[in-house]
Chains A and B, each alone.
Chain A
């Protein structure tokens, strides 16, 4: 099936630093999403993105978070500055029609 690639699979950084998580979505998909999962718990919606704009974001999407997809390349989630509570696995997803989401394998972020 369609593959969403996430780079890197693991990232360890010091609190206060900036981190960028990269997502290579399925090539003809137009809708992009970030979800956060802590310790194998519930997948929590962060943000969705379409046509170069954020469509909806949750209260978990703090001011320190930003997303973009410059020139059709990677869809990125940037956290600046990071905090301890940002440690989690971040999943990217993409969709052609906003109905069925295809997920990447996640990036495990550890903030020390």
Chain B
């Protein structure tokens, strides 16, 4: 079965600084990988997804993520964060053979002004 680990429960960065949110997955096949963002009192919104091809995928609002198969990782990055990026970020994985998506525990991002 698939699983996702987000080792950092909370990350605090200053506005304008670069960001990396870590995600490692467990799945024996080729995974579908996602990053979702959840703003307070809202549902999850898709930031980006990876199925195949270029391992660096671009998402909305300047976010990108890199699929590194050898490391089973799919870290999220942003070159310069804005205070409005403060939210909870969820990494997720699904298999091509079923329809179930597994989420990590989420990382709360706090951007200080």
Residues of chain A touching chain B, judged by Cβ–Cβ distance below 8 Å, are: 4, 6, 31, 33, 35, 40-45, 48, 50, 55-56, 91, 93, 95, 98-106
Contacts and interface: CB of A to CB of B under 8 A. Distances in A.
Nearest to A104: B43
B17 interface: no
Interface stretch (B22-30, B73-81, B98-106): B98-106
Contacts of B98: 56
A108 to B, nearest CB: 8
Nearest to A106: B43
Interface of B is mostly: strand
Contacts of B42: 105-106
A35 B36 CA distance: 14
Contacts of A4: 43
Q: How large is the interface on B (under 10, 10 to 19, 20 to 34, 35 or more residues)?
A: 20 to 34
Contacts, number: 57
B64 to A, nearest CB: 17
B80 to A, nearest CB: 24
A44 B41 CA distance: 17
Contacts of A100: 34, 46, 49
A55 B43 contact: no
Contacts of B100: 45, 48, 56
